[in-house]
């Protein structure tokens, strides 16, 4: 009898980043035989981005494991609530908001703090709703806030190559969370200076996620790819 097909792993990046951050994780998963997709998260709005990911998932035959980093966790939370082929959710130092909760509120869960809000640079973008703008992390603070445990030269390019993130996403209430009905896994980044680790632990517990914790900055998928891969594989097998 043929072995059942492995699920497709869909990797969703977060704000201030692009899909290249998944390079090591995607390579490791593919070496293990997993089909992988790492689409570009539009970063234009919670509902818009979730609809885009949901459409991507709808084109995939068979089971899907949705993996989200940072803001990507909010996107997979919303995209998965009525996607019938999503069998597991994996959060990598990510937001896992509840229904009606905003990301600004999520930052404060568990009593942690972050300097991110004080380090954002606003830039206009064409077609932005009134009052909205793209947010970028101040170049002078990027390494320390976002990726303190990656080499300086790598962090420098990540900083200048960061993608703008519609700041309205921070105040948009989240929808019905997929983690209410879909088994979830969570990697807490204990040294995260972007999303407070206290908030990550709170969200992981609330979602009933199987949780591991690693000593890493916000970009655990870059600085701790082996641990990230193991968690995704566990979710795929779970």
Q: Return the domain boundaries, the chain.
A: 8-237
DSSP annotation string for 25-86: HHHHHHHTT--EE-PPP--S-HHHHHHHHHHHHHT--S-EEEEEETHHHHHHHHHTTT-TTE
Cβ proximity of 169 and 46 under 8 Å:
yes
What pLDDT sits at residue 3?
60
Q: What is the CATH number of domain 8-237?
A: 3.40.50.1820
What pLDDT sits at residue 72?
98
Distance from C-alpha of 132 to C-alpha of 124, rounded to nearest angstrom = 8
Phi and psi, residue 7, nearest 5°: -70, 155
What pLDDT sits at residue 238?
87
Tell me the pLDDT tens digit for each residue of 187-237: 999 999 999 999 999 999 999 999 999 999 999 999 999 999 999 999 999
Cβ proximity of 185 and 115 under 8 Å:
no
Q: Of 94, 102, 85, 95, nearest to 175 (Cα)?
A: 102
Tell me the pLDDT tens digit for each residue of 125-182: 999 999 999 999 999 999 999 999 999 999 999 999 999 999 999 999 999 999 999 9
Percent of the chain with pLDDT over 90: 97
Largest Cα span, the chain: 59
Q: Which helix (H) or strand (E) holds 116?
A: none
Entry pTM? 0.97
Tell me the pLDDT tens digit for each residue of 55-89: 999 999 999 999 999 999 999 999 999 899 999 99
């Amino acid at each position: 009898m043929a072995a059942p097909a492995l699920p497709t792993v869909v990797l969703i990046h977060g704000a201030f980043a692009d899909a290249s951050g998944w390079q090591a994780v995607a390579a490791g998963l593919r070496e293990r035989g997993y089909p992988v997709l790492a689409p570009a998260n539009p970063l234009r709005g919670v509902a818009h981005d979730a609809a885009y990911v949901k459409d991507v998932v709808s084109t995939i035959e068979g089971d899907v494991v949705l993996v989200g980093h940072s803001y990507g966790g909010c996107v997979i939370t919303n995209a998965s609530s009525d996607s019938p082929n999503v069998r597991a959710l994996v959060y990598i130092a990510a937001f896992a908001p509840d229904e009606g909760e905003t990301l600004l509120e999520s930052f404060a869960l568990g009593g942690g703090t972050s300097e991110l809000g004080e380090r954002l640079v606003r830039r206009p973008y064409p077609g932005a709703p009134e009052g909205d703008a793209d947010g970028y992390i101040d170049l002078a603070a990027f390494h320390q806030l976002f990726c303190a445990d990656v080499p300086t030269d790598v962090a420098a390019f990540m900083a200048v190559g960061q993608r703008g993130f519609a700041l309205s996403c921070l105040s948009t209430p989240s929808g019905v969370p997929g983690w209410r009905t879909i088994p979830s896994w969570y990697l807490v980044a204990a040294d995260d200076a972007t999303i407070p680790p206290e908030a990550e632990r709170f969200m992981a517990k609330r979602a009933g996620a199987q949780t591991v914790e690693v000593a890493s900055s916000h970009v655990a998928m870059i600085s701790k790819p082996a641990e990230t891969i193991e968690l995704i594989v566990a979710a795929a097998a779970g």
